[in-house]
Amino acid sequence: MAYDKIVVPQNGERITVREGSLHVPDHPILLYVEGDGIGPDITHASMRIWDAAVQKAYGGQRKVAWAEIYAGEKANALYGTYFPDETLDAIREFYVGIKGPLTTPVGGGFRSLNVALRQELDLYACVRPVRWFPNVPSPLRAPEKVDVVIFRENTEDVYAGIEYMAGTPENEKLARFLREEMGARFFEGAGLGIKPISAFGTKRLVRKAIQYAIDNQRKSVTFVHKGNIQKFTEGAFRNWGYEVAAQEFADFTITEDALWKEPHNGRVPPGKIVVKDRIADIMFQMMLLRPDEFDVIATPNLNGDYLSDAVAAEVGGVGIAPGSNIGDYMAVFEATHGTAPKYAGLDKVNPGSLLLSGVMMLDYIGWKEAGKAIIDAYIRTVEQKIVTYDFARQMQGATEVKTSEFASAVIANL
Ligand code: NAP
């Protein structure tokens, strides 16, 4: 495909999909969006580390061919729009990319670029691993007990954007229908929102979560829902989740109910993953008090939004929490924090979130050795108390360094 502003690297090769799986050449074209605000600082720093780790792990046999694509302010300057069509075309063609944070004006302006990206490309699973790294400041007494991977549904729930403003003709029409034909009762002048949760949307998310648990030897998958109150949406999510486990993964899973009955009596049969569910509000307490009871988590959109930031806060905050949005094959990895505009261009912030999202990306394309090299070097660097300002202010005796200096320290530790 011909692009207007995107330069496809000549030395790179396309990732392809054959027989239902991703095929990654030795010089794959990977896409990146610098992002707004602090985006360029953390992107440049992280890219140096990703490249150095790949070089270290594969001695020049493998190398990423980076192609810059555009969204946000840089896109607006180049194309006169914040979200050019060819950015989407490039992701459809090359499958895998990583992005820095993008500005979303509050209350009006354009809709969130992040939400648009997920919806346009049907990146239905927002996957966020949350674990503690030694020496990273945490408010918990035993942060090492936190090691979960949250699969948040990305396309449904109240996030689907089906909302009608109070006072509009659409709102009044819907209110009349709900009252007169469905017998619903609610206050006059209420804004109305619809919360669709489907078997299709739930099952493809849960399928991904269980498959991940199998592929990565995880112990359990927990459905987090509010099904006690919202029975036909959140409750249905839970039921459909169990259906996927029973119908598609019977050889690999056991439900918590079955586990505590004869003949198992609480002993997990070898090779089985425990499938269980928890109501969302108690889950927040449990993730603080007994986080080691949880492993892979699958949850609808809004629960997942709250839960992933809350759990990230237990182990160092969104400054180091990685994230990704994954569809059937396409995947966009991303920093989970925003653009932190007051620090833009100061070479100051923590690149950890984007850096570790890049580790997820390397894992996703099967370059696990490079990802592991980065994790080890990252742990060593923080152990040496070489950190950016955000960690330095919470650590005794830390050496505060700039974003780029932190990258150099990690590279030295590779
Ligand atoms: P934010 O940019 O995440 O910044 C909030 C605070 O978090 C910062 O002031 C800073 O705390 C800390 N922080 C964020 N990134 C950090 C990093 N890499 N290292 C260290 N500390 C970091 O949130 P916001 O101010 O609410 O949002 C700003 C803009 O970003 C908005 O336009 C919002 O819509 C957008 N946003 C984009 C995304 C995305 O693209 N995925 C996500 C969230 C928000 P201190 O002030 O304490 O140092």
pLDDT in tens, 57-70: 999 999 999 999 99
CB 90 within 8 A of CB 3: yes
181 versus 395: which is more confidently predicted?
181
- In tens, the pLDDT along 312-343 reads 999 987 778 899 999 999 999 999 889 999 99
**Is the Cβ atom of 334 under 6 angstroms away from ligand 1?**
yes
What one-letter code names the amino acid at 273?
I
Closest ligand 1 atom, residue 340 Cα? 2
Whether residue 305 lies in the annotated active site: yes
Using CA atoms, how far apart are residues 97 and 266, in angstroms rounded to an integer? 42
Would you say 213 and 273 are in contact if contact means Cβ atoms under 8 Å apart?
yes
Confidence grade of residue 106 (pLDDT, cut at 50, 70, 90): low
Q: Whose CA is nearest to atom 40 of ligand 1?
A: 101
Nearest C-alpha to atom 44 of ligand 1 is from which residue? Answer: 338
Give the three-state DSSP class for 23.
strand
Nearest CA to ligand 1 atom 46: 340
Does the pLDDT value for residue 360 go beyond 80? yes
For residue 106, the ligand 1 atom closest to its alpha carbon is: 34
Taking a C-beta distance cutoff of 8 angstroms, is the pair 44, 349 a contact?
A: no
Among 102-106, 174-178, 398-402, 403-407, name the one with the lowest average pLDDT: 102-106
Determine which one of 36, 157, 277, 305 is catalytic: 305
Catalytic (active site) residue 226: yes
Under the banding of pLDDT at 50, 70 and 90, the label for residue 105 is: low
Catalytic residue among 32, 82, 159, 164, which? 159
Question: Do 311 and 367 contact (CB within 8 A), yes or no?
Answer: no
Average pLDDT, the chain: 94
Distance between CA 178 and CA 166 in Å, rounded? 14
Name the packing angle between helices 39-58 and 403-412 (round to 10°).
Answer: 10
**The pLDDT value given to residue 97:** 98
- The conformational region for residue 332 under phi > 0 = left, psi -120 to 50 = alpha, else beta, is beta
Radius of gyration of the chain (CA): 22
Q: Does the pLDDT at position 155 exceed 60?
A: yes
The pick from 337, 342, 389 for probing ligand 1's pocket by mutation, whose C-beta has the most ligand atoms within 8 angstroms, reads 337
**Ligand 1 mutation pick, 339, 355, 393, max ligand atoms within 8 A of CB:** 339
d(CA 340, CA 284): 27
| Nearest-angstrom CA–CA distance, 162 and 175 | 14
**What is the C-alpha to C-alpha distance for residues 1 and 331, in angstroms, rounded to an integer?**
19
How confident is the model over 100-122, as a mean pLDDT?
Answer: 76
Mean pLDDT of 125-130: 96
101 lines ligand 1 (CB under 6 A): yes
Question: How far is ligand 1, taken at its centre, from the CA of residue 105, in Å?
Answer: 13
Residue 105 alpha carbon, nearest atom of ligand 1: 32
User: Is residue 115's pLDDT more than 80?
Assistant: no
What confidence category does residue 1 fall into, taking pLDDT thresholds of 50, 70 and 90? confident
Return the pLDDT at 109. Answer: 52
Contacts 24+ apart (CB under 8 A), 44-47: 44/404, 45/351, 45/355, 45/403, 45/404, 45/406, 45/407, 46/351, 46/354, 46/355, 46/358, 46/407
What pLDDT score does 316 carry? 81
pLDDT the model gives residue 119: 84
114 lines ligand 1 (CB under 6 A): yes
List pLDDT tens digits, range 227-240: 999 999 999 999 99
From the CB of 34, is ligand 1 less than 6 Å away?
no
- Taking 80 as the threshold, does the pLDDT of residue 104 lie above it? no
Residue 337 Cα to ligand 1 middle (Å): 5
pLDDT above 70 (res 8) = yes
pLDDT per residue as tens digits for the range 195-213 = 999 999 999 999 999 999 9
Q: Please tell me the predicted confidence (pLDDT) of residue 114.
A: 78
User: Does the pLDDT of residue 111 top 70, yes or no?
Assistant: no
| pLDDT at residue 159, rounded to an integer | 83
From 74, 99, 208, 226, the catalytic residue = 226
Q: Is 137 in the pocket of ligand 1 (CB under 6 A)?
A: no
Query: What average pLDDT does this structure show over 16-25?
Result: 94
Note if 348 is an active site residue. no
- In this structure, the residue with its CA closest to atom 34 of ligand 1 is 104
CA distances from 60 to 64, 295, 367, 409 (A): 10, 36, 13, 21
Average pLDDT over residues 13-18: 96
